[in-house]
Chains A and B, each alone.
Chain A
Amino acid sequence: MSIERDEMKELENFLSAARQEAPGLRAGLRGRILADALEARQPQSEAPLMVRFSGWFYGWALPGTVGGAVAALVGFWVGFAAPMPPDTPFWMFDTLAHLDSFMLPLGGVIDPLVMGF
């Protein structure tokens, strides 16, 4: 027990020595930290248009957008122009006809026949 107490007392001396010998903040480091602070405080300038959109040419942004656009076009074609199979139930014809009656004018189509169907 006494040995342990002695060891702890010695440890306190070592710790005290370490506290005295602690490294101080050099002026150079302080200057770098404050330069960072100054830079962080300034508002980020707007990047040029080309730089801002350059991200689109990397990764999945462009393929994803193109894929989405193609899917939308296919959906549009299926919805408006795909031929109906002969066994399509009448209620579906009726529903589509009803939808066409107000959707097509919204798209600027007065007569569906001019679209070729």
Chain B
Amino acid sequence: MGRETTAPADQTQLLARFASGEMRAAEALTDLIAPRLLRYAARMLGDSVEAEDIVQETMLRLWRIAPEWQEGQAQPMTWAFRVAANLCTDRLRRRRGGVPEMPELADETPGMDARIMTRARAEALQAALMCLPERQREAVVLRHLEGLSNPEIADIMMVGVQAVESLTARGKRRLAHLLSGHREELGYHDEH
């Protein structure tokens, strides 16, 4: 967890440098923020194509707001997650009842069996995530898949830290319950 961490001040400085015309800063910000947004959106929507649209739209909004960005404002990463969360919510509302797909996954795992098993587990988790209420899914993805801290998640979801803790705990309990039926088929019988 806790990947691609960069000091918040760096993010703000990068955005300021982009606003003053430095394209390298845009590249750095893209590499810093976009992969996380993509993972988040893919988990929230269960669709990699829609997730890419969300990421592009969110980043475009970030570029547009860059010249007016103020020092005391939320961090660019937090702001981007908040925008992406709203866009995901809009998509989910529009979709209503669509069948979620598993996002297209990276193909880097060595060993075919291990890769298949890991992928099967990831797919099972994704299917279970899609059964969670949206807010619980959001909290679980941000906390346990993106490794954000509870205060950061509270900032993104615009709720208190206690509400985040509650959402995460309930989401995890429900996920554990949903996945308990899959343990045999996913090779957990020999791990206890």
Chain A positions near chain B (C-beta within 8 angstroms): 4, 6-8, 10-11, 13-15, 17-26, 29-30, 32-34, 36-38, 40-41
Contact = CB atoms under 8 A, between A and B. Distances in A.
A11 B179 contact: yes
B106 interface: yes
Contact of B176 (A10, A21, A40): A10
Contact of B55 (A19, A21, A33): A33
A38 B23 CA distance: 7
B1 to A, nearest CB: 7
Given A11-B175, A23-B39, A29-B52, A37 B118 contact: no
Nearest to A11: B176
A90 B159 CA distance: 69
Interface string B93-115: 00000000001111001000000
B161 to A, nearest CB: 21
Contacts of A21: 105-106, 109, 118-119, 122
A6 B192 contact: yes
Contacts of B23: 34, 37-38, 41
Contacts of B1: 19
5 cross-chain pairs, A with B, having the tightest CB-CB distances, nearest first: A17-B121, A40-B63, A21-B122, A7-B176, A37-B26
A8 B162 CA distance: 21
Contacts of B117: 17
Contacts of A20: 109, 118, 122
A36 B57 CA distance: 9
A20 to B, nearest CB: 6
B21 A41 contact: yes
Contacts of B145: 15, 18-19, 22
A20 B122 CA distance: 8
B82 interface: no
Given A24-B106, A30-B34, 4 more contacts: A15-B125, A23-B39, A33-B59, A41-B23
16 contacts: A7-B176, A7-B177, A7-B180, A18-B43, A18-B126, A20-B122, A21-B122, A22-B42, A22-B106, A23-B48, A23-B106, A24-B35, A25-B30, A29-B38, A33-B30, A41-B21
A6 B183 CA distance: 11
Contacts of A11: 172, 175-176, 179
